[in-house]
Amino acid sequence: MDKFNLQFELPGLPKRINQGHGSHWKARFGEAKKWERQVFLATLGKKPPQPLKRCRLKLTRFSSVAPDFDGLVYSFKPVVDALRKLGVIENDSMAHIGRPDYRWEKAKPGAGRVRVEIVEVDELP
């Protein structure tokens, strides 16, 4: 049986931890909703029949400036949370997604985007 896999790109860039949306709940809520809408549209008609119990995630940020690793990882939080909330993945704990592969690639200013690659697996390393 073939395993489920899905790849999509989302325009724009999620905020990094030091980009000023801080800890105010309203700013975090707005950022989360923005990315939830984008993930919803990108996965419409493409979601697995049931949320994936185990999968590998490869998350790539395309931006003109390289973030530090902590900022890179944090920037994907609203995207991964949306995958869970929308039923693409069962949970975003390490038991379900392991340690995602976080990447950065250079892009022209104003051409920021993120790529999400999801591959269902039987076991995680």
3-state secondary structure of 35: helix
φ, ψ for residue 7 (rounded to 5)? -135, 135
Predicted confidence at residue 27, as pLDDT, reads 77
Q: Which domain holds residue 84?
A: 5-120
Find out whether 13 and 48 touch, Cβ atoms under 8 Å: no
The answer to the question of residue 100 being in a domain is: yes
Pick from 20-29, 52-61, 95-104, 109-118: least confident = 20-29
Of the chain, the percentage scoring pLDDT greater than 90 comes to 81
pLDDT band at 98 (very low <50, low <70, confident <90, very high): very high
Domain count, the chain: 1
| Confidence band of 101 (pLDDT split at 50, 70, 90) | very high
Residue 59's CATH number? 3.30.1330.70
| Over residues 99-112, mean pLDDT | 97
- Kindly report the average pLDDT of the chain as a whole number: 92
What pLDDT, on the 0 to 100 scale, is given for residue 59?
98
pLDDT at position 125, please?
A: 82
Q: Is the per-residue pLDDT at 72 higher than 90?
A: yes
- 0.85 surpassed by pTM: yes
- Write the DSSP string, 53-101: SSEEEEEEEEESSPPPHHHHHHHTHHHHHHHHHTTSBS--SHHHH-S-E
125 belongs to a structural domain: no
